[in-house]
Amino acid sequence: NPLAGVNPRVGLYARLLPACSAVSVPSARLARVIAERCGSAPRVIDDPCEGVRGDTCFAPSGPLRLLWFGHPANLRYLQALVPSLAELAHERALALEVVTGEVQGIESGLDKLSRQLAPRFSARYTRWSLEEMPQALERCDLVIIPSDPGNPKKFGASPNRLIEALVAG
């Protein structure tokens, strides 16, 4: 199988690819891998940017307001960053907002983390919606996008969160 080890859905993709008249992917890196392994080059089509263009401004006062947003499946990358955030909170107070879909226990988990690291760190959950995202981006000083570049499932990931954060300012 030419896509073995690239994605857990590889069997499905391998069966569907020959039947496709066109294939698109969100990154040039993923396009190269598919072309090398399958012999046909997919077209790279970037994700659309749905956000509103904002002014770039970095002048935090008070706690540094951090934003993490994304799919609940990627919360483990944020979880892995918590010890570093706790260490950074010794130098600068942090306020983390987590914007994602509904996750059982996320509010209580973030409340517990806030109590453990108080008063230098606070965290809160906001349920993701199209209406909420521009407001969350406006409220923050920095967007954090932790990932694992060594994870083969992430090697061709779309830059959509990075682009949305940059466009928002």
Token pair 């928002």 in the structure block, residue: 168
From CA 169, how far away is CA 155, in angstroms rounded?
26
What is the per-residue pLDDT for 2?
44
- DSSP symbol at 39: S
Q: How many Å apart are CA 73 and CA 100, to the nearest integer?
A: 10
CA–CA separation, 161 and 143 (whole Å): 9
The string of pLDDT tens digits covering residues 90-99 is 999 999 999 9
- pLDDT attached to residue 49: 67
Whether the pLDDT of residue 162 is over 60: the answer is yes
Residue 7 has pLDDT above 70, yes or no: no
Q: Does residue 21 register a pLDDT over 60?
A: yes
Q: What is the mean pLDDT of residues 23-46?
A: 80
pTM, rounded to two decimals = 0.73
Would you state the structure tokens that stand for residue 160, as one six-digit string?
A: 């959509």
pLDDT tens per residue across span 57-100:
777 889 999 999 999 988 999 999 999 999 999 999 999 999 99
